[in-house]
Amino acid sequence: MKFFARLCEAFTSLLGLATISPWQDSLSQQPLGGNLVPEGLPLAVRPKGPEFAPPNSSVGFVCSYPSMVASQMTINADGYLKTGGQAFNGQYPGPWIEACWGDELEVTVTNDLQYNGTTIHWHGVRQLHTMQMDGVNGVTQCPIAPTKSYTYRFDVTQYGSSWYHSHYSLQYPDGLAGPMTFHGPSAANYEEALPPFLISDWSHNSAFHDFHVELAGPGRPIMQSIILNGKGTYTCKEAEKVNCTTPPPIFQQTWKKGRKYLMRLINTSTESIFIFTIDNHMLQVIGSDFVPIKPYYTDSVLVGIGQRYHIVVEARPSDELLPIEDQNYWIRAVVASGCGSIDQNNETVGVIRYDPESIKTPTTTRYQFNTSCSDEPYESLVPIVPWNVGNHSNNMLVTNDNFAAGLTNYTGTPLPHGNFSRWDLTDFPLWLNFSNPTITNLKNTSWNPEYCIIAEDYKEDDWVYLIITANASVSKQISSRNFFPVSHPIHLHGHDFVILSQQTIPFDESHLTNGMFNYDNPPRRDVALLPGTGYVAIAFKTDNPGVWLLHCHIAWHASSGLALQILERQGEILPTIGSLQQTETVCENWDPWVNNTANWWNATEFQDDSGI
């Protein structure tokens, strides 16, 4: 399997300059070597979803990773030994999973944790007709019990970069996350594709501990450092010396002058939104999430939690005519204003070197860029394959299809810690039952309110619009909830969505027709930032029957309940996904384990968050 992945990567690197221009509607273009679709080949446009169906996609190559083991371990990410760490295959970040556009990906996950179940969610993956592989406990499966395994298998119908992570409560901030690349076409030429570049905040405490700090408020927990591909630096305080050790070496790469490099940026943070920049280098942005876009140039890119960007950087620094003597340049990740807080420094660095023998510290200074917490400019994110948005089949102004991200003092069953406020999108904070996932209840005609089910029962080509605000909803004022000017990265499973409008002012119905909504090839992706003083309006076709989680990707907020479930074409889900034998087996393994209180981390309480 790894041989195939490396072969695929070799072709993508070699042929990165072979982009066929212009990008054409090509249904006859065959991948090289069966399923080998290198970056640089033209895009295939299909009637029901351009860029979702590769040419010759029936080849059926299975890309298999037979052993992905989740276990406890001590992690040294920044010079402090985090004893509450969790990781896949004993490494943080987890192994790089690679496949090619059109492959079938198969990953077997084994749970070697002591007091936790686990799952893996494949962030941004469409999971067309494979909802049971989405990896969300309480929604698409029961958790994988300790010592047990679950095999995820699904078609790779998109291309680009993303990440996989546990969706079991707060496990991914403790280390259960890793990069994922689906090789496919590219929107611009390059000569060398670099491994994924993961940016994350990092806490020395277990996230399960920090969550109670979040609940008690008034502010979020403070993160200790910023990690670049698992490497960071922290200066230990005197009282912490017993847990301190030598930090890993700073992240650095050696580049060749004049060469064009593809970088794959991924934000895997708990709560922080970052601005990425390289001193004296311009960035050509060519893809956002799994969507290729018309290239544009900038000196910095804001990457929200869960977002990804493909960028091409030409190794020609701006000081080329009067070069800096040491030829070393800082890579920087800077926390966006108001969207994260790091204990010692809201910026971290890596190094680009042009002289492989150099060990000098760079002396470059950073660009003067905007540090505000907002997505990349709306007008810059123009998809190469256009989508024109049809009229909405739902009425988001008078139904439940408008939502407000706020805090509530809801104290109803089953939530413990009733004196604490919790984030929600509806009248209830999400609260899932690990042992009774939504997928096993698809014949229900009613739902417990804490499941936060939003039914969207339309036809395959119908459009649904959702309006999400950071203040009171457009159809009702909710006196029992409090609203704060906080930005939220909103992620939808099962779809790329279009962003009809993204504003820093409150929503008004007139925005639908006064030019503030864009229906002609708007940006699309799977994570969009909800501005803290305004709203984001998104839309998707109901062409993927399933139950799809929509949630804030600030881990504390998701665990608090800032989420809901989109129940899409309920009557067509079971016939579409086929056998639930593995789903039933994983629940049969989970129930006896969780019903034995000796397995609980707390003698009186097992679940203390939403479950996601």
Domain residue ranges of the chain, discontinuous segments joined by +:
2-191, 197-380, 402-594
Give pLDDT, residue 17.
26
| pLDDT the model gives residue 217 | 74
Cβ burial 483-512 (10 Å sphere, 16+ → b, else e): beebbbbbbbbbbbbbbbbbbeeebeeebb
d(CA 285, CA 160): 13
pLDDT at position 418 is 58
The architecture CATH gives domain 197-380: Sandwich (2.60)
What is the mean predicted confidence (pLDDT) over 405-409? 85
Query: Does residue 478 carry a pLDDT above 70?
Result: no
pLDDT of residue 415: 62
The share of the chain scoring above pLDDT 70, in percent, equals 86
> In this predicted structure, what is the pLDDT of residue 58?
44
Pick from 125-139, 389-403, 420-434 the range whose average pLDDT is largest.
125-139
Average pLDDT over residues 339-347: 94
DSSP 522: -
The answer on pLDDT for 28 being more than 60 is: no
Whether 546 has a pLDDT exceeding 50, the answer reads yes
Of the CA atoms within 13 Å of residue 208, those in its CB half-sphere come to 16
Find where tokens 């709306």 sit: 378
- State the pLDDT at residue 400: 61
What one-letter code names the amino acid at 299? Answer: D
pLDDT in tens, 117-170: 999 999 999 999 999 999 999 999 999 999 999 999 999 999 999 999 999 999
7 pLDDT higher than 60: no
Query: pLDDT at position 584, please?
Result: 98
Task: Report, as an integer, the average pLDDT of 19-28.
Answer: 25
Helix (H) or strand (E) holding 312: strand 308-314
In this prediction, residue 588 carries a pLDDT of: 98
pLDDT of residue 37: 35
Beta strands at 328-335 and 347-353: parallel, antiparallel or unpaired: antiparallel
Instruction: Give the single-character DSSP code of 243.
Output: G
Q: What's the pLDDT tens digit per position in 183-235?
A: 988 999 999 999 999 999 999 999 999 998 888 777 789 999 999 999 999 99
Q: Residue 57 has what pLDDT?
A: 46
| Vertex 437: Cα angle to 436 and 443 (nearest 5) | 90
CATH architecture, domain defined by 402-594: Sandwich (2.60)
Check: pTM over 0.75? Answer yes or no.
yes
Quickly state the pLDDT bin for 413 (edges 50, 70, 90).
low
Question: What CATH fold (topology level) applies to the domain 2-191?
Answer: Immunoglobulin-like (2.60.40)
Only one residue has tokens 């007139």, namely 510
Domains 197-380 and 402-594 share a fold: yes
Give me the torsion for CA of 290, 296, 297, 302, rounded to 10°.
-40
Alpha-carbon span 132 to 545, nearest angstrom? 11
267 DSSP β-pair partners = 199
Mean pLDDT of the chain: 88
Three-class SS string for 70-133?
Answer: EEEEEEECCCEEEEEEEEECCECCCCCEEEECCCEEEEEEEECCCCCCECCEECCCCCCCCHHH
CA–CA distance, 9 with 194 (Å, rounded to integer):
10
- The kind and range of the H/E element at 454 are strand 453-456
Q: How confident is the model at residue 472 (pLDDT cuts 50, 70, 90)?
A: low
C-alpha–C-alpha distance, residues 298 and 369, integer Å = 10
**Which pLDDT score is estimated for 267?**
99
Q: Is the pLDDT of residue 54 over 80?
A: no
Q: Give, as one character, the DSSP assignment of residue 46.
A: -
- Determine how many CB atoms are found less than 10 A away from the CB of residue 191: 17
Q: What is the pLDDT of residues 346-372, one digit of tens each?
A: 999 999 999 999 999 999 999 999 999
- Cβ neighbors of 155 (< 8 A, separation 6 or more) are 57, 102, 103, 104, 105, 128, 130
Query: Would you say residue 417 has pLDDT above 90?
Result: no
Amino acid identity at 578:
G
H helical segments located in 470-572: 555-560
The answer on pLDDT for 10 being more than 70 is: no
